[in-house]
Amino acid sequence: MATGPTIRDVAARAGTSTAVVSYVLNDGPRPVAPATRARVLAAVAELGYRRNNLARALRANRSSTLGLVVPDLAKPFFAELTRAVEDAAFTRGFRLLVGSAHFDAERENEQLHALLDARVDAVLLVPSQEPKSAVALLRRAQIPHVLVHRTHPDTVCVAGDDTDAGRQAADHLLGHGHHNIALLGAGAGDDPVSLRARGASAALTDNDRPVPQWAVLGCPFPNLREEAYRATRTLLATRPEITAICATTDEHALGALRAASETGRRVGEDLALVSIDGTELGAYLAPALTAVTAPFDTLGADAVDAVLSSSGVAPAIRQHQFTLTVRRSCGCRS
C-alpha cells in the first residue's frame, strides 16, 4: 500500500529508535522524555508520516469489523448517524457492530469494552458526556479510534460545525422579521447542544435588529422531548409576545410541536419554528420541519475514513458544515 515515509524514516530523523517512535504514537506502553517526544512529533509532521492502521490490522489478525458506541439508538439523530457510519463501513468492506450507552458513563464504558473484547479493528465513539476517560481508555487499548459529533483535544474528531448551525437557525428566524424569539436548549459546555445554543445566542444578540425580549430555555438531558414540551407549554402560556422558537435539536422541536398543538398555536402560521439536526423524520411532521441539517453521510464517511487511515498520528478536528432545509414550520411556505 503506502509508499510514503516509514516509521524507520521518522526514527532516523528524530535520532531515536523505532520503538520510541511507536511509544510516542501509541501513547505507551513505555514513557518517553518530553524532549524526545517533541522531536518525534516534529519528524512526523515534517515527513508527513501517516500510520497505516489498516495494514497494521491486516497483519494483526483483523476482524474486518468496526465498532461504534452512541448515546442512544432510540433517538433519530443517533439512529441516522449510525446508519451513515454503517453505510460507509460496508462500502469500504467493513461490518459494523454498535453499542448504545443510554447517556450513561458506566454503560458507555461497558460497551467500549464489549467492542474491544470483540476485537474490532477500530472504534468510533459518539460520546455520551465529556469524553476524557473514554479517550484515555481507547488510547490505553492501543486501538485506532475517532470521536464523532463531539471533540476532545487528544484525538481525531469528526464533527459538524454546531456553532455555525445555531447561527444559521437564528439567522433564518431573524430574516423572517421575528424579534421575540425563544431558544430551546442551553448549556455552558462544549457539547453540541451547548455550541448550537451559543451560536444562536450570538446571532440573536449580534445583529442590527432589537435584541429579543426573551432568549434561552434550558432542557436537561436526556429526555429532551419531554423537557422541551414542558418548557414550551410554560412559555406559550406566560410569554404571548414570543412569535418564534429556535430548537437546538429535532428532539426539542418535537416537544415544541406537541406543546403548540395542544395549546392551539399553529406552527408555521402564528408561531415559527426552526430546528437543528434535520433528521428524516422532520419531513413527516405536521407542519414539516424547517431544519439546519447535519451532513450525516459526510460525517459517517469521514469518520470511517479517519479511523481507517490516520488516527493516532495527530489529534485534529475535521469539521463539516450544516445546510438549511426549508419546509413549512418557519412560515416560509405558509
> Which positions touch its own copies (CB under 8 A)?
16-20, 22, 28-36, 63, 65, 67, 72-76, 79-80, 82-83, 86-87, 90, 95-100, 102, 107, 109-111, 113-120, 137, 140-142, 225, 229, 254-255, 257-258, 260-261, 267, 280-281, 283-288
Nearest partner of 320 among 50, 68, 44, 81, judged by Cα: 81
- In angstroms, the CA 71 to CA 126 distance is 7
Question: Cα–Cα–Cα angle for 130, 63, 132, nearest 5°?
Answer: 10
With respect to its own copies, which residue has the nearer C-beta, 182 or 267?
267
CB of 320 to its own copies, least distance (A): 20
With respect to its own copies, which residue has the nearer C-beta, 141 or 324?
141
With respect to its own copies, which residue has the nearer C-beta, 113 or 239?
113
CB of 20 to its own copies, least distance (A): 7
With respect to its own copies, which residue has the nearer C-beta, 182 or 259?
259
- In angstroms, the CA 153 to CA 276 distance is 25
With respect to its own copies, which residue has the nearer C-beta, 116 or 316?
116
Asked if 239 contacts 182 with a C-beta cutoff of 8 angstroms, the reply is yes
289: left (phi over 0), alpha (psi -120 to 50) or beta: beta
Nearest partner of 143 among 65, 57, 85, judged by Cα: 57
CB of 294 to its own copies, least distance (A): 14
CB of 76 to its own copies, least distance (A): 7
CB of 23 to its own copies, least distance (A): 9
Helix (H) or strand (E) holding 306: helix 296-309
